[in-house]
Amino acid sequence: MAGSARLYRHAYTRTAIALHWLAGILILCGFALGLWMVDLPIAPRTLRLYGYHKWIGITVFLLALIRLAWRAASPAPVPLPMPEWQQRAAAVAHHLLYALMLAIPLSGWLYSSATGVQVVYLGLFPLPDLVPKDKALASVLKALHATLNFTLLALIILHAGAALKHHFVDRDGVLVRMLPFLSSPERESSP
């Protein structure tokens, strides 16, 4: 019983878990779609894919805002015991993840504005252009958008790798906090 009470103090809420995984799935889908669509010839189907990519990006932006609001209203659980440098590294990584979840969609929206193509969220809500049409600026923003996306991909790989290391090497229950259906290696080794 004491082990489950201790794990509860360290567990994320169902809302936090749902927001985490929804954002993660959308980010990976948006990234994969972005990689695939850039080499397609311009055609009606390609333009629809660009629209879907933008919808995913704006949704990730909105989810990041919701996650930040949720975090402000519902503080993160007590950290699991680990070296201080790992706690600091995790905090920096999480701050960067949030920053990129906001910056990447914003850079894509700016890029669309600079190309003269308005973003229409879900095909229903036209968003204002953030900058005037400008070919040179569009080129810079395209490169920035790609760089930020690959930075996010590297950070996600690092984040997932750290979670797997904690689960399989440290056996400390860090991954179980975001995947509660997993059994904790710590609990498996306890009598």
Q: What is the CATH number of the domain that holds 130?
A: 1.20.950
Residue 74 belongs to domain spanning? 2-189
**Whole-number pLDDT of residue 187:** 41
Give the Cα separation of 85 and 50 in Å (integer): 41
Domain count, the chain: 1
**Whole-number pLDDT of residue 84:** 93
**Whole-number pLDDT of residue 63:** 97
DSSP letter at 190 equals: -
pLDDT digit of tens for each residue in the chain (191 aa)?
344 444 445 688 899 999 999 999 999 999 999 999 999 999 999 999 999 999 999 999 999 999 999 999 998 888 888 899 999 999 999 999 999 999 999 999 999 999 999 999 999 999 999 999 999 999 999 999 999 999 999 999 999 999 999 889 988 888 888 887 765 544 433 33
What pairing do the DSSP bridges indicate for beta strands 125-126 and 120-121?
Answer: antiparallel
- DSSP three-state, residue 1: coil
**Whole-number pLDDT of residue 4:** 44
